Amino acid sequence: MARPGVTYNDVAKAAIELTGLGKLPIIDNVRQFLGTGSSSTIAPHLRTWKTKQGEIQLIAIKEKLPEEFVVLMKGLWERVLQEAQTQISLVEQHADKNLSEHKQKIENLVQDNKRFQQQCNQLQQKEQQLTNDNLALEQAIIQFQNKQAAFQAESKAFQQRLTDKQERIDEVQRLSQQVQNNLDHYREASREQRLKEQQQYESQIKYLEQSSQQYLQENDHLKKQLQLAQEKIDQLQQDNQALKNESHDISAQLNDTTSQLTITKASLAASLKSETHWQTQYQVVLSKFNEQENSVSDLQKQVALLSQQVSISENQLHEMKIQNKLLTHEKWQLGQESAQLTGQIKKIESLHMMEKFA
Average model confidence (pLDDT) across the chain? 78
Comparing C-alpha atoms, which of 98, 179, 133, 106 is closest to residue 355? 179
Cite the DSSP H helix spans in 35-119. Answer: 39-63, 67-115
* 90 close to 140: Cβ distance less than 8 angstroms: no
Position 264 pLDDT exceeds 80: no
Q: Which amino acid is at 52?
A: K
| Least confident interval from 29-38, 40-49, 68-77, 241-250 | 68-77
Burial of 3 (0-12, 13-18, 19+ CB in 10 A): exposed
Rounded Cα distance, 161 and 358, in Å: 19
CA 101 to CA 110: how far, in whole Å? 14
Q: What is the model's pLDDT at position 70?
A: 63
Contact 279, 258 (CB under 8 A): no
Q: Decide: 91 and 116 in contact? Cβ < 8 Å.
A: no
What is d(CA 60, CA 43) in angstroms, rounded to the nearest whole number? Answer: 25
342-352 pLDDT tens trace: 888 887 877 77
Mind giving me the DSSP string for 72-86? HHHHHHHHHHHHHHH
Model pLDDT for residues 5-59, shown as the tens digit of each residue? 789 899 988 888 888 788 888 999 999 999 988 889 999 998 998 887 766 665 6
pLDDT band at 318 (very low <50, low <70, confident <90, very high): confident
pLDDT reading at 1 higher than 50: no
In this prediction, residues 145-174 reach a mean pLDDT of 80
The pLDDT value given to residue 44: 93
288-307 pLDDT, tens digit per residue, is 878 877 877 887 888 788 77
pLDDT at residue 348, as a whole number? 80
User: Is 247 or 349 the better-scoring residue by pLDDT?
Assistant: 349
To the nearest 10°, report the CA torsion of 127, 129, 134, 137: -160
pLDDT at 28: 92
At residue 324, the pLDDT reads 77
Radius of gyration of the chain from Cα atoms? 60
Dihedral, 218, 222, 224, 226 alpha carbons, nearest 10? 180
